[in-house]
Structure 1
Amino acid sequence: MTKRPVLWIAGALVAAGAVLTVVLTAGGGVPGAKAAAPGPTTMGAEWRSFRADVTGIRPGPEPTSLFVQVALPGKDPGCVREPRIEQIVETKTDVRADVVYSTRPASGGCQDKVPAELLLATATPVAERTVILNGDNGNAWHKLGAGWGHCAPQGTCAPPADHCDPAWIGAAVTATGAQSTGTTRVCDPNWLVLDLPVRQTEPPARSVFRWADTGWTSFAQVKSAGCPEIRAAEPKFPVALCKTLPAPA
């Protein structure tokens, strides 16, 4: 059994709260005047660590890695710092780790959830090992076909029947080399359209997939709205699925 610190974390967010200094006067020297009371503090001073809500995992760029998808509190940059993966323990049959972040009390702005991804790096290939995050044995992750998901309550670990299941879509995203899951524009049993940020310095690219026996297969990269480019690459793509598509974004 190997226990070690985190090797690599991708998509980590580091946020620091801004400090506002207010200079108070004594009412311009008027007798009996009192200094104005300080305004309410929006952020508590004490940072505490919590386990993150894990929403999915997908294959990483290497056999020894996985992307862990989480929901973190708040859009305010002062809500979260140091999202990380720690306490990684590996055996021949499973990989265990804690997915945590630090936060502090806030009066508002930290109630909403925002998505993020962290990279879990292992010492040896993940392969078919079970992945258990935050000690949640009841929701262990298993490799199901090309992607990752939960086994059925009856204990069967067959690939999801739903082709739009996050396990299948996550595998498609990884195959493109995209840096995050992007936006799913269309998904039905036979066709998938994703807008994916392949590089941070470039606008999202639109990838179009058809279903094959082993998962989603990309057949086109398009830059325009609607159907013309998609149907030029695959005339069988249904017009009803692409006619209202906006430009990739």
Structure 2
Amino acid sequence: MRSGRGIAAVLCALAVLLLGACGTQVAGRGADVSATATGPVPWTLAEPSRVTAARLGADRRTVSIDADVPSGERPCVRDFKARDTDAEYGSVPGTVHVQVTFESPSGDRRSGCTKERTATARLRLPEPLGTRQLVIDDHTVFTTDGAELPALRLCGELGCTPPATGCTPDSYEQALKAIDAPEHTYRDAEHCDGKWLVLDFSWRTGPACGDDTADPACTSRLGDRWFFRAEKSGWKPIARGSAEGCTDVHRVEPAFPTTLCGPLPALAPSLHPTYSPTATATP
């Protein structure tokens, strides 16, 4: 009798273990998780870290979108797709808005999804793209204008049609973006002939104060000088320096015209101890 009861107890214990294991698997599926050595990791909705390219099919309606997505030893991406959101949120003239999404456990480092790979999503637009811009996830824009189809052209920070290189304020703003100038930069002097450009600019280093303050700490600035050459994409930085005349730029580009750089004074680290109302601020 005792041995029979012992056998029955063992069988009951095994049954409990098996049922418990089955319960864990079902619970895992219900919670939509990915199993790891340290426990389950939930899958969540995500967007690509970067969209790298877009292409049009021969029908001019099928769009292929390349994007960087998480990667690792275990599965890191599922349900990777692109969808046209204009019907849902309303269309904007001249544009087609597309959202690229996927599910991934990469938000938890236990998933092992710490690398990236390129994935491609495809969708068919309701009608040909034509001359409209393709806006992906609200911040990456492609255009057919000037593109080598089927590849679309990726637009930059200044949009798909940046200002033409020249001696204009918009053009100078493009030059400042090209060198990643600090926010709220002030252009102090421009020397330009349409093909070559010198920009002297400065930015405040003190606390946030009104322009009418007498506190020197509120009006102190640091300055910088860059030299540029005009290219199809806009002003391209070619040299940086603070020396008098052409010394800094001629080390890099002897063709830079002396008429622009010759009269340059030496640039002090602090250009303007007080606010200059003639300087133009970058928003």
State the TM-score, normalized to the length of structure 1. Answer: 0.42
Higher helix share: 2
- Comparing both chains, which one has the higher relative contact order based on Cα–Cα distances under 8 Å and sequence gaps of 6 or more? 1
